[in-house]
Structure 1
Amino acid sequence: MITIGLIRHGITEWNSLGKAQGVSDIPLNEIGRKQASDIGDRFLLEEQWDMIITSDLSRAIETANIIGTKIGLPSSHIDKRVREINCGQIEGTTEEQRIRKWGSEWRNIDLGMEKFADVSNRGRDFLEDIVCTYKGKRILVVSHGALIGLTLQRLLPQKFQKTYIDNTSITILKNREEKWDCILYNCTKHLK
């Protein structure tokens, strides 16, 4: 068995402004740093983790480093497979700007976005590799909202037709005998 804690990075200025970030490398803002510190404090009071793996984007790395400092665990493992969806031409734009520029049906236009199936395959392949490599371990993965949500939909389609992942929420998956189970979803109790 393996336990995997999926954490979305702390909030950024672009998150606050409602801009699509995708693979744009936007740092955490002060609130995001505080959120990362808060989840780190939560882990001091709860279960122990063996390792932190993070996306290669700075907002995830910074979140992982803050958590790691709190719990005494370096986040030395970076994996590009858990980076955010590439949003193509919509990166840096708000919904209002997209509608103004491409119309209300902008989602039906090819604007260079990475396909959802490709993102969920990336996430699934990463998790399957983790299961094979780190049997019996408890692994934290600091990633991004779309990657986590689409991966959950891929692994557990009966449970997750739609997902929303809050900044610094934790979602805990267990894999037992090649079967996935989600025992905690999008939990942000540390932020209250």
Structure 2
Amino acid sequence: MTVITLVRHGQTDWNMLGRVQGRTDIPLNDTGRAQAREAAEALRHGGYAAVVSSPLSRARETAEIIAGVLGVPGPALYDGLVERDYASAEGMTSEDLWKLQRRAMGPDAESDEAVATRAVAALRDAAAAHAHVDGPLIAVAHGSLIRVLIALASDGEFPRPGERVENGSQHAFRLDDDGLSLLSYSAVPAD
């Protein structure tokens, strides 16, 4: 059994503008860097052993900041932790999507099932690679991926309708042979 805390990367300019990022590699802004430091402080006394991350720069930099503050190794990068592929919707605002397609994710976005399958596989790989360390892991990833894992691990009970996963938020999971279980999450009501 491994405890893994998933942290959403800090804010980017596209987050601020409400643009769908997906796999587009948008860097953190200064607010995002501050959120990464705040997340690290919130995790400081958790006994974490290492940090892993999506390879996208916004997640990787968040992970680097957290690892630096906590003085733990990382980040090891896992492709399976990248954000959902939104395909043609990337760069659009949610408002644009609703006007044009009436689908929040766009017609050719990666499915929840595909996101969950690759993300859980990446977490299993990270847990196996860090089996020699004593303590839980931190995995820095993306909002949609984390939402999918929260829903999977809570049998759809969470997040509740209208809740969002904030930049820099932390969500604890247990990963074992039976799958992923939700230990805690910090989604907040949407504006």
Q: TM-score, normalised by structure 2?
A: 0.85
CA distance in 1, matches of 2:51, 2:105: 37
Q: Which residue of 1 aligns with 2:111?
A: 115
Name the larger-Rg structure: 1
* Deviation for aligned residue 1:133: 4.7
CA distance in 1, matches of 2:77, 2:127: 16
Provide the secondary structure at the position in 2 that maps to 1:173.
strand
CA distance in 1, matches of 2:73, 2:34: 19
Q: Percent identity?
A: 29
* Deviation for aligned residue 1:75: 1.7
Against the structure 1 CA distance between its residues 92 and 79, is the aligned structure 2 distance closer, same or farther, given a 3 Å change threshold?
same
CA distance in 2, matches of 1:67, 1:9: 10
- 1:120-135, aligned counterparts within 5 Å? 120-135=116-131
Q: Which residue of 2 aligns with 1:156?
A: 154
Q: Is the 8 A contact 2:5 2:173 kept in 1?
A: yes
* Deviation for aligned residue 1:180: 3.9
Unmatched runs of 5 consecutive residues or more in structure 1: none
Pick aligned residue for 1:145 from 143, 146, 149: 143
CA distance in 1, matches of 2:27, 2:48: 25
Cα deviation digits, residues 129-175 of structure 1 (max 9, x gap) = 34455456411000001111112222331533646311111001123
Unmatched runs of 5 consecutive residues or more in structure 2: none
Q: Which residue of 2 aligns with 1:27?
A: 27
CA distance in 1, matches of 2:82, 2:49: 21
Q: Which residue of 2 aligns with 1:165?
A: 165
- 1:1-192, aligned counterparts within 5 Å? 1-44=1-44, 46-100=45-99, 102-103=100-101, 105-107=102-104, 110=107, 112-135=108-131, 137-160=135-158, 162=160, 164-175=164-175, 178=178, 180-186=180-186
Question: How many pairs were matched up?
Answer: 184
CA distance in 1, matches of 2:3, 2:105: 37
CA distance in 1, matches of 2:153, 2:105: 25
CA distance in 2, matches of 1:179, 1:74: 25
- Aligned-residue CA RMSD (Å): 2.3
* Deviation for aligned residue 1:4: 0.5
Provide the secondary structure at the position in 2 that maps to 1:186.
coil
Q: TM-score, normalised by structure 1?
A: 0.84
Cα deviation digits, residues 111-139 of structure 1 (max 9, x gap) = x3112211111122223334455456411
